[in-house]
Structure 1
Amino acid sequence: MEREKVINDARKKAEGYFQRGEFFCSESVIHTLNELLGWPLDRSITRLASGFPIGIGKSGCVCGAISGGVMALGMAYGRDYGNAMNGKMLPIAAELHDHIKKLYRSTCCRVITKDLVFDSPERKAHCVKITGEVAAWVTDKLLDDEELIRTIKSVNI
């Protein structure tokens, strides 16, 4: 039961940031996961996600929520200069990509939102939902990693 609550809380928190206009999709995901992980990186890390909304700078390419999710996975599995790539990083990033592609038939923002008017409440609700889905999916995967959970010094998970 606790696991489902943590996952649902991550979903709702990310959705809330986006819905209220505090952050866009990518920013909402990375900020939520940084908080969930107990702030392993300075809060300003959210700034790195600011160019990804609406498919990388409004280009309509890769969905910003996915980009934020991959960055969030990097907080857990990324490497520092001089270290070897963590064997979990690339497969789990690909798994996130495939999960969203299965749900929405694409990972491209312009394809996922093609039937929605850009500034419409329907499009925003659709994007808020995707943002929550990515945050929940990443949270679920992190909760599966017992080794990671043991190393986190936070009570957020």
Structure 2
Amino acid sequence: MNILNLNKKLGAGEEVLIGRLRERAGNLYLTRQLLCAEAVMVSLNHGLDGGLSESQAVAVAAPFCAAMGESGCLCGALSGAELACGLFLGKERPYRHRREIRDSAKALHDAFKAAHGATCCRVLTRSVRHEKEAHFRHCAGLTADAAELAARMILARRPELAARVGEAFLSRKDSRIGGVLRRLLHRFSN
């Protein structure tokens, strides 16, 4: 789903990579290993070699999950996408590129809002709020979409990152039971 129209045309390899990043973020959410912001941040960080450990990526994104600590404000998936863009677009000389990073954040926000009609979690989930499984599936879709948007933004500006793909991470597709076991392992080992 191409929901971010960028001026730069991406190659076939980059499109495949974007699809894999999208799927991995959705899988991390659907298997209940990570919440929205965490799934986006971890997928992009690992998939494009952002340099953070998984624990660091989770720690940075955790406050933004479930709409900023369950406040119902900004969508956590969008927050994770914004964090990942900051990581990759600001990694080299962040003070010099702050304006570009802010412009990218606005473009990402606007693209997400155009695709979904809102960026507020309460608004985005209004129709599924009282149906737990429907709510969960809806948010998994938002998580995958946000990962795709961020990946498009990042790769359009830093195409060299496509050569640094975390192949083993992106190739893994966990089952729901496997995800629960992995989540328990993380909880008791860290």
Q: Structure 2 length as normaliser, TM-score?
A: 0.74
2:68 corresponds to 1:26: no
SS of alignment partner, residue 22 of structure 1: coil
Runs ≥4 residues deviating over 4 A: 79-82
Residue of structure 1 in register with 2:151 after alignment: 139
Residue identity opposite 1:2 in structure 2: G
2:109 corresponds to 1:70: no
SS of alignment partner, residue 28 of structure 2: helix
SS of alignment partner, residue 69 of structure 2: coil
Q: Which moved more, 1:79-88 or 1:66-75?
A: 79-88
SS of alignment partner, residue 9 of structure 1: helix
- RMSD across aligned positions (CA): 2.3
Residue identity opposite 1:42 in structure 2: S
Contact 1:25 1:53 in 2 (8 A): yes
Contact 1:65 1:130 in 2 (8 A): yes
Contact 2:155 2:162 in 1 (8 A): no
2:51 corresponds to 1:40: yes
Q: CA deviation at 1:98?
A: 0.5
Q: CA deviation at 1:43?
A: 2.2
> How many aligned residue pairs are there?
155
Residue of structure 2 in register with 1:9 after alignment: 20
Q: CA deviation at 1:152?
A: 7.5
Residue identity opposite 1:11 in structure 2: R
Query: Structure 2, unaligned stretches of length 5 or more?
Result: 1-11, 168-190
SS of alignment partner, residue 29 of structure 2: helix
Distance 2:41 2:73 in 1: 19
Residue of structure 2 in register with 1:110 after alignment: 122
Q: 1:60 to 1:39 in 2, by over 3 A?
A: same
Deviations along 1:105-131, whole A, 9 cap, x unmatched?
110000000111356111111110010
Q: CA deviation at 1:37?
A: 1.6
Q: 2:67 aligns with which of 49, 55, 71?
A: 55
Q: CA deviation at 1:100?
A: 1.2
2:136 corresponds to 1:124: yes
**Higher share in helix:** 2
Distance 2:61 2:34 in 1: 10
Distance 2:140 2:21 in 1: 13
Q: CA deviation at 1:39?
A: 3.8
* Higher-Rg member (1/2): 2
Q: Structure 1 length as normaliser, TM-score?
A: 0.88
Q: 1:89 aligns with which of 81, 97, 101?
A: 101
Query: Structure 1, unaligned stretches of length 5 or more?
Result: none
Contact 2:129 2:135 in 1 (8 A): yes
